Structure formats: structure tokens, C-alpha cells
Amino acid sequence: MNKITLITGATSGIGKACALHFAQNRHDLILTGRRTERLQELMTALQKEYPVRVHTLAFDIRDRRTTETAIASLPAQWKNIEILVNNAGLASGLNTVQDGLTDDWEKMIDTNIKGLLYVSRAVLPFMIARGKGHVINIGSIAGKEVYPNGNVYCATKFAVDALTKGMRIDLVQHGIKVTQIAPGAVETEFSVVRFHGDKQRAKGVYQGFQPLRAEDVAEVVYYATTLPRHANINDLVLMPTSQASAAIVHKV
Ligand code: NDP
Ligand code: 8X3
């Protein structure tokens, strides 16, 4: 029997790379995101290439009811989730607080904090019933350091950092591992989303240095799941070699 791994935000970037990496390592996958067509395409491609089963769930993690219903709708055998990768998330806007758009703030808070909580709340009882499991939260260097104009996005990732610690305390009695992987700059659709679809501006973020690739992060996420039962990575910061801190990138 393959292990079952649920990855949120699998339609793009880090989540999609994780889907590929876990499929290559023979995990059956529950893949989520809002873009149904991308989920279908990924499911077809992975099942064609690897000896794995893929189940897709298209829903918006900001919507509590829809999230609960989607996860409750899983057929019984799919509820044996061994690994949950809480990856879905976004930055929206890059402004000072005084110039910030409240719509941006709500998107980030509802997705990065509340969405992560809704999914975790729905999945954790399955892990507790089995007496094992592993939750991997995708945090960020933005959850370790605040940078100019990062304010609300940073606050949501600081919340992920705190929630990771809180989950570990609550779940230790159930033998469930909780890990945070906190990357620096990764070239994905992240900056296109942050700049509201402005691809040129997004491209500029990654010019002059080698950012992380989504695959680099996926490799580390997968590695965290391969340690023996008695060992856990609590927290891992993964940076591009050219990035010394949230705000210091050596560009040439
Ligand atoms: P992408 O924009 O490429 O991917 C984001 C994923 O999240 C998509 O699959 C998207 O799916 C999903 N998502 C966003 N909002 C929702 C929602 N409301 N409901 C369901 N799914 C949603 O960005 P990344 O791969 O870079 O980001 C993944 C995670 O990594 C995020 O949590 C981000 O904060 C974090 N991160 C990113 C870094 C970077 O530099 N790129 C660095 C550190 C952390 P869909 O649109 O189909 O719903
Ligand atoms: C994404 C990395 O530094 O752009 O979390 O906020 S950063």
C-alpha cells in the first residue's frame, strides 16, 4: 500500500513540485487547489507516469464550509492520510500599512492562516485515529524576519510559525510529527500573484540571482518525511545561496 499524502495548492509552484516528487516516490496523492483544469491535467499526467493513485479536490480554502465538506467527502480509503502538506498560500500586494489595500490583507489572512487551520482541523482527526501522521507547514523567511512593505504577509507567515509550534505541542501525545519548511525566494507564480498579475514586475524580483526552484523545496519537504519514526525536523529555513536574509539578496 502506498502512503497517502494530501498537498494543498498543488496547481502551481511548490505544491505542484511536491506532487511530482511524492509521486516519483510512490505516494498516493490528494491534490487540492481552486483551478480544476490544472488539477485534472496533473492527475492524468502523474497517473500515466507513476504507479500511484491521485484524487483531486477543487475548493477554496478560505471557505470553511466548502473545505470541511470537501475533506469529509473523501472515500474511506482516502481518509488514511499519512502526510499533510499545508502549502496553499499567497502574498497580495507590497505596500506600507498606511497604503495597504484591505482586500489584499483579507485574502492573505483568510488563505495563509484561516485556510491552513480549516484544512488541518478537518484532516487531523484522521491522523489521531491512526496514531500517526506528519503535518508539514510551508512557512517562509517572511515568517522569521519582517521586511519593508511585507507587513501583513509577514504577519501571516509569523502566524504559520507559531501555529507550527502550537500544533507540535498539541499533537505530540498522538505521535504526530509537525514540521515547518521556511523557504526564501522561490521562482513560482508567487510574485505574479503578489503583483496582481503584473508579470514584468514579477520577473524583476528574480533577476540578477539564482532563486530557489520549486523542486528544491519539494526535495526538502520529501526528505523531512523520510526520517525514522523517532526523529523529526521541527523547523528548516531553506535559502538561495545568494540570499542572506529576507531583504538582502546579492544581485549581479
Ligand atoms: P504559487 O502561486 O505558484 O502557488 C500557490 C498555490 O496555492 C496554488 O496552487 C494556488 O492554487 C494555491 N492557493 C492559493 N490560494 C488558494 C485558495 N484560496 N484556495 C486554495 N488554494 C489556493 O506560489 P508558491 O508555490 O510560491 O507558494 C506556495 C506556498 O509557499 C505559499 O504558502 C507561499 O506563501 C509559500 N512560500 C513561497 C515562497 C516563494 O518565494 N515563492 C517563499 C516562501 C514561502 P489555485 O490558484 O489553483 O487555488
Ligand atoms: C515568500 C518569500 O521573501 O518574498 O514567502 O516574502 S518573500
Quote the cell numbers at residue 96: 506600507
Give, in degrees to the nearest 5, the angle at Cα 27 between 84 and 222.
60
In the 8-state DSSP scheme, what is residue 142?
A: G
Q: In the predicted model, is pLDDT for residue 116 greater than 90?
A: yes
CA of 247 to the centre of ligand 2 (A): 9
* Ligand 2 nearest-atom number relative to CA 142: 6
Quote the cell numbers at residue 246: 529576507
Query: Given this model, what pLDDT does residue 171 score?
Result: 98
Phi, psi at residue 100, to the nearest 5°? -65, 155
Q: In the predicted model, is pLDDT for residue 7 greater than 90?
A: yes
C-beta separation of 236 from 218 below 8 A: no
Candidate of 8, 87, 94, 239 to mutate for ligand 1, largest count of ligand atoms within 8 Å of Cβ: 87
Query: Given this model, what pLDDT does residue 3 score?
Result: 98
Of 13, 109, 115, 112, whose CA–CA distance to 70 is shortest? 115
Residue 118 domain boundaries = 4-238
247 assigned to some structural domain: no
CA of 207 to the centre of ligand 2 (A): 15
| Helix (H) / strand (E) containing 54 | strand 54-58
In the 8-state DSSP scheme, what is residue 243?
A: B
- How far is it, in rounded angstroms, from Cα 108 to Cα 156? 7
Find the residues whose C-beta lies inside 6 A of ligand 1: 9-15, 33-35, 60-62, 87-90, 111, 115, 138, 140, 183, 185-186, 188-190, 193, 214
As a whole number, the mean pLDDT across the chain is 98
The pLDDT of 97-105, averaged and rounded, is 98
State whether the Cα torsion 9-172-146-241 is positive or negative.
negative
CA of 196 to the centre of ligand 1 (A): 14
For the chain, the domain total comes to 1
Find the residues whose C-beta lies inside 6 A of ligand 2: 140-142, 150, 185, 246
Nearest CA to ligand 2 atom 5: 140
Query: Given this model, what pLDDT does residue 228 score?
Result: 98
230 assigned to some structural domain: yes
Q: Which tens digits make up the pLDDT trace of 180-235?
A: 999 999 999 999 999 999 999 999 999 999 999 999 999 999 999 999 999 999 99
250 assigned to some structural domain: no
* Ligand 1 nearest-atom number relative to CA 153: 34
Of 241, 215, 198, 179, whose CA–CA distance to 93 is shortest? 198
* Ligand 2 nearest-atom number relative to CA 157: 5
Q: In the predicted model, is pLDDT for residue 89 greater than 90?
A: yes
pTM of the model: 0.99
CATH number, residue 139 = 3.40.50.720
248 assigned to some structural domain: no
**Which residues are known catalytic residues?**
153
Sheet architecture: strand order including 133-138: 54-58, 28-33, 4-7, 81-86, 133-138, 176-183, 235-238
The pLDDT of 168-187, averaged and rounded, is 98
- How far is it, in rounded angstroms, from Cα 159 to Cα 86? 13
Query: Given this model, what pLDDT does residue 1 score?
Result: 85
245 assigned to some structural domain: no
- Please report where in the chains the cell 521556511 appears, as a residue: 182
The pLDDT of 144-169, averaged and rounded, is 99
C-beta separation of 249 from 209 below 8 A: yes
CA of 230 to the centre of ligand 1 (A): 30
52 assigned to some structural domain: yes
CA of 149 to the centre of ligand 2 (A): 11
- How far is it, in rounded angstroms, from Cα 249 to Cα 252? 10
Res. 117 pLDDT band, cuts 50 70 90: very high
Candidate of 8, 14, 116, 181 to mutate for ligand 1, largest count of ligand atoms within 8 Å of Cβ: 14
* Ligand 1 nearest-atom number relative to CA 11: 9
The pLDDT of 47-53, averaged and rounded, is 98
Phi, psi at residue 245, to the nearest 5°? -160, 180
C-beta separation of 31 from 142 below 8 A: no
List 83's β-bridge partners, or say none.
5, 134
Query: Given this model, what pLDDT does residue 45 score?
Result: 98
Of 58, 57, 56, 5, whose CA–CA distance to 28 is shortest? 5
Give the contacts of 148 (CB within 8 A, at least 6 positions apart). Answer: 247
Phi, psi at residue 131, to the nearest 5°? 70, 20
The pLDDT of 102-120, averaged and rounded, is 99
200 assigned to some structural domain: yes
139 assigned to some structural domain: yes
Query: Given this model, what pLDDT does residue 76 score?
Result: 97
